[in-house]
Amino acid sequence: MKKLLVANRGEIAIRIMRSAREMGIRTVAVYSEADRLSRHVLCADEAYLIGPAASAQSYLNVDKIIEVIKTCGADAVHPGYGFLSENATFARRCKKEGITLVGPSPEAMEVMGSKLAAKEAVKKFNVPLVPGTEGAVSDLNEAKSVAKEIGFPLLIKASAGGGGKGMRIVEKEEELEEMLKLAMSEAKNAFGDSSVFIERYITSPKHIEVQILGDQHGNIVYLFERECSIQRRHQKVIEEAPSMVVNDKLRKEIGECAVMVAKSCGYTNAGTVEFIMDESKNYFFLEMNTRLQVEHPVTEMITGKDLVKEQIKIARGEALSFTQEDLKINGHAIEVRVYAEDPMNNFLPDIGTIEQYIRPDGIGIRVDDGYVQGDSIPIYYDPMISKLIVHAPNRNEAIERMIRAIEEYQIQGVKTTLAFCKMVLDHKVFRNGKFDTHFVKNHFKPEMLQSADSDEMEMAALLAAFMQQNKSTSPQTKGLVASGSNWKKNRLQD
Ligand code: ADP
Ligand code: ADP
Ligand code: MG
């Protein structure tokens, strides 16, 4: 592999290019008209415009991307996450054109891309499944009889769903008919496939997922679990590794179960097997994500493995250079996703220009970002600005480190999830580990951030008065007043 085209944008494109560069591989960026000045374009050795802002005409445009791969002479493509990463048609096309796709086979993508086909495949391997229907349900009477068996509340899920979309909770029988219709038409509109199925709705679950790597020689290893229960709209915002509710025995069991899932579809490359775990620590297979995951850095921090490099080596046909026994957990890692969203307003995207951008730094801190100060966040794509990752010897120190890092992180111009994440990390329920996927609903009220905000504003006003008195107007102290975080406040008192 001499030249790798990264068919993605933002932080993940940059993250992939970094590893490729360290391996002596030339990197190629593609970009839409909205991304002409984006940082992933500047990070690459070469960059090509592929179309208008709308992703359907750029980052999802298979023909155009294949054309660029051929004209620039790249021999491989890495799709990152989202966009074409789980698109079997794209994978098949690459194969036909003789381009190495850094990812699994189109067949594995196809099986795991359909939640129903995935359940069917893993069933033979004794993988525990959430009680529910085996196939698609479209008939109300069938739905009613399944509901009798598994009870309410239940969940109607789109087989082709993803990104937390295509799910409907049904609390009682009277709602079943309408919800079934709604779910089917939503699934058809959003995913082009109206197949839905019914699952028991686990009322107080944790989301636990296992990172796996499989090479083309039949070796598959698990790189332990990630705990991703802090979610909003069924989408993760804070992830950590390892999980504090998983002991060594369970870790081995669930890890080996994930390897079985990978075996069931002849999986190669990096993948994630997602499980849902109930209060009694029973775990059930949810789905497999056939790509590099947003939250992969927490696994990198605790295992010391560069997952992108491993992906590239596997795609080149190399055998894994380590065994399951070689893998050890070192310390604890936490990631918070920094979205341009307003937690005070139902986490609605808050796009605009990043007027001030100061990254945290110091021991155990990693920032994977896609923007610099002065950049605008386009409305066309996912509003994630960056991922802030910390690594420390244990969970408590990781939490303290993350809070310190969040306080250092200064983003002005758009609203972000930073203050919200700090609130979560500081919450006693997060600290004691007794939380589930409903943390946000059960423990978060926008007012909690409002009072933090007004404390900071009050402090900023005091500081402004203080500085007026001292006639201090250096740019540095101006910044301190504007930001008003605790860290800066404490620094000023020194
Ligand atoms: P992860 O599982 O890595 O935490 P998500 O499930 O949130 O990540 O998905 C990562 C990205 O891919 C997000 O931008 C999400 O919107 C997008 N995505 C995932 N699956 C689909 C899908 N089936 N259709 C459209 N977008 C998807
Ligand atoms: P997606 O493809 O959108 O990621 P998943 O099946 O992985 O869909 O589910 C996403 C999230 O939805 C899970 O992390 C969990 O919070 C919730 N969820 C999914 N299935 C269930 C279930 N049976 N009971 C309770 N919550 C569920
Ligand atoms: Mg999922």
Where residue 492 falls among pLDDT bands split at 50, 70, 90? Answer: very low
Residue closest via CA to ligand 1's atom 27 equals: 163
CA distance 259 to 262: 5
Q: What residues does CATH 3.30.1490.20 cover in the chain?
A: 131-200
Neighbours of 24 (CB within 10 A): 8
Spatial CB neighbours of 173, under 8 Å, sequence gap ≥ 6: 144, 147, 152
- Mean pLDDT within 163-169: 89
Residue carrying structure tokens 């009798």? 148
Say yes or no to pLDDT of 489 above 80. Answer: no
DSSP classification of residue 452:
H
Q: Is the pLDDT of residue 454 over 90?
A: no
Percent of the chain with pLDDT over 70: 91
Residue/partner pairs of 374-380 with CB below 8 Å, 24 or more apart: 375/37, 375/38, 375/39, 376/351, 376/352, 377/340, 377/351, 377/352, 377/353, 377/414, 378/34, 378/35, 378/53, 378/351, 379/349, 379/351, 380/32, 380/34, 380/53, 380/54, 380/55
**Does residue 444's CB lie within 6 angstroms of at least one atom of ligand 1?**
no
Query: Could you tell me if the CB of 158 is within 6 A of ligand 2?
Result: no
Contact 159 CB / ligand 2 (< 6 Å) = no
Query: For domain 3-102, which CATH number applies: 3.40.50.20, 1.20.140.160, 3.40.50.300, 3.90.1570.10?
Result: 3.40.50.20
Q: Which two tokens mark 263?
A: 């075996």
Report the pLDDT averaged over residues 22-29.
Answer: 98
Strand partners, 460: none
Residues 388-414, mean pLDDT to the nearest whole number: 98
Task: Tell me which ligand sits closest to the C-alpha of residue 119.
Answer: 2
Spatial separation of the C-alpha atoms in residues 349 and 55, rounded to whole Å: 17
> In the chain, which residues fall in CATH 3.40.50.20?
3-102
Q: pLDDT tens for residues 30-47?
A: 999 999 999 999 999 999
Residue 477 has pLDDT above 60, yes or no: no
Name the band, by pLDDT with cuts 50, 70 and 90, for residue 164: confident
The residue from 291, 337, 395, 401 that is catalytic is: 291
Asked if pLDDT for residue 198 goes beyond 70, the answer is yes
CATH for 206-447, options being 3.30.1490.100, 3.30.70.360, 3.30.470.20, 3.90.1140.10 = 3.30.470.20
On whether the CB atoms of residues 284 and 275 are closer than 8 A, the answer is yes
- The tokens describing 209, both together, are 């997922």
pLDDT for 450: 82
pLDDT score recorded for residue 37:
95
In CATH, what number does 131-200 get? 3.30.1490.20
Q: Tell me the two tokens of residue 341.
A: 């969203």
Q: 436 CB under 6 A from ligand 2?
A: no
**Rounded mean pLDDT, 369-385:** 96
CB-side neighbour CA atoms (13 Å) of 455: 10
106-155 pLDDT, tens digit each: 999 999 999 999 999 999 999 999 999 989 999 999 999 999 999 999 99
- Annotated catalytic, 291? yes
At residue 458 the predicted structure's pLDDT band, cuts being 50, 70 and 90, is low
Scanning 29-105, the segments in alpha helix (DSSP H) are 39-43, 62-72, 88-97
Give the whole-number percent of the chain exceeding pLDDT 90.
89
> Is 488's pLDDT higher than 60?
no
Distance CA 49, CA 32 (A): 6
Is the per-residue pLDDT at 62 higher than 50? yes
Q: What angle do CA 19, 25, 28 make, to 5 degrees?
A: 90
Considering only CA atoms, which residue is closest to atom 23 of ligand 1? 162
- Give 208's DSSP letter: E
User: Does ligand 2 lie within 6 Å of residue 331's CB atom?
Assistant: no
In tens, the pLDDT along 291-341 reads 999 999 999 999 999 999 999 999 999 999 999 999 999 999 999 999 999
162 Cα–ligand 1 center, Å: 6
Residues with CB under 5 A from ligand 3 (ion): 274
Pairing of strands 100-101, 76-78: parallel
Average pLDDT over residues 159-188: 94
For residue 320, the 8-state DSSP code is P
Burial profile 49-63: b = 16 or more Cβ within 10 angstroms, e = fewer: ebbeeebeebbbbee
Report the C-alpha gap between 30 and 48 in whole angstroms.
5
- Report the nearest-CA residue for atom 17 of ligand 2: 234
Which residues of the chain does CATH 3.30.470.20 include? 206-447
